[in-house]
Structure 1
Amino acid sequence: MTVFIDVLLVVAILGTGVVSGVFYAFSGFVIQGLHRLPAADAARAMREINVTAVRAPLMLAIFGTALVALALVVLAIAGQLAAPWWAIAGAVVYLVGVVGVTGGANVPRNNRLAAASASDDAALAAAWGEFRPGWQAWNHVRSLTSAVACVCLVVALVS
């Protein structure tokens, strides 16, 4: 069982690290680059990014990691982990800060941006103006919480 748990921890560490990197890239330069475009063009580009984001690579990273995190919580509660509280902390931080924030904050903003008329530059510009600040702030949260979760899981592995 120890090898299995170690593998789960390593998979969770890699998953949280990858997810943190993706969100960091968006906060660090993707959204910043889009914001340099005219607002309607930025909105159009982000809408296309959102369409391509909902595919296996990103969804597997986010939600596959969430499933592994849930499995670690179950194993920790069952007394199978050497450092259960670190694993539980990492899993909870990830589940709330990434999955919860994605569903509760970022996806609704994506949906509102997608609902703006594609042929109306003024509507797209207004939608971008409403979208960007909140989306980016919550994306910072996702980047930070997935990094914190990664550190917690590393501690759980080496303890």
Structure 2
Amino acid sequence: MAFLDDLAFILAFLTAIACGLMGGLFFAFSNFVMQALGRIHPEAGIAAMQSINQVVLNRAFLCLFMGTTAACVLLVLYALSNWEVPGTFFLLLGSLLYLAGNFVVTLACNVPRNNALARLDAGSPDAVAPWREYVETWSRWNHVRTATALAASAMLIVGLCLMLTLD
């Protein structure tokens, strides 16, 4: 493998792990966190999710989320400029899945809902209907993030396996 191909391999390996981590995080929310928050009293659910949305904006999460996004952009550029390298189609596909299904969906669908939730008064009876809507729509988009992060991880792994045929 050429030096650039070696770097791309290492980047794709780390990105596949990061996509898997993001998929696992989103899976936990889809599988039980949002369901549990939706079952408790709306005031408690709203307050808990408002707190989660504040706490999640920490260095570790933002580094993982934004780092994976940046790595996927680099892999897209690598794949497009090194199309002849085995596995680059899968690196491109996996990276685009993550970028569209995680970065774009997060910014366009989940974050605006989080911002609207932050403005709710958890103790207000008027907050119940928006909360129910939030749980349903936020969760739906989170399912998309879960599936695309895990699919991205799988596609990157396929690309890595194909890149091993370079030797």
| TM-score, length of structure 2 as denominator length | 0.90
Partner of 1:19: 22
Partner of 1:134: 137
Partner of 2:165: none
Query: Which residues of structure 2 form unaligned runs of 5+?
Result: 163-167
Q: 1:106 & 1:55 partners in 2: Cα distance?
A: 17
Over 4 Å off, 4+ runs? none
Q: 2:114 & 2:139 partners in 1: Cα distance?
A: 11
Deviates more, 1:13-22 or 1:78-87: 78-87
Deviates more, 1:53-62 or 1:36-45: 53-62
What per-residue deviation string (whole Å, max 9, x for no partner) do you get for residues 6-49 of structure 1? 21011110110000000000001111111121011101100000
2:130 partner letter: A
Partners of 2:76 and 2:92 within 8 A in 1:
yes
Partner of 1:7: 10
Q: 2:158 & 2:38 partners in 1: Cα distance?
A: 38
Partner of 1:114: 118
Shift of 1:155: 0.5
Q: 2:110 & 2:116 partners in 1: Cα distance?
A: 10
Q: 2:120 & 2:38 partners in 1: Cα distance?
A: 17
| TM-score, length of structure 1 as denominator length | 0.94
Partner of 2:97: 93
Larger radius of gyration: 2
1:37 partner letter: I
Pair 1:69-2:90 in alignment: no
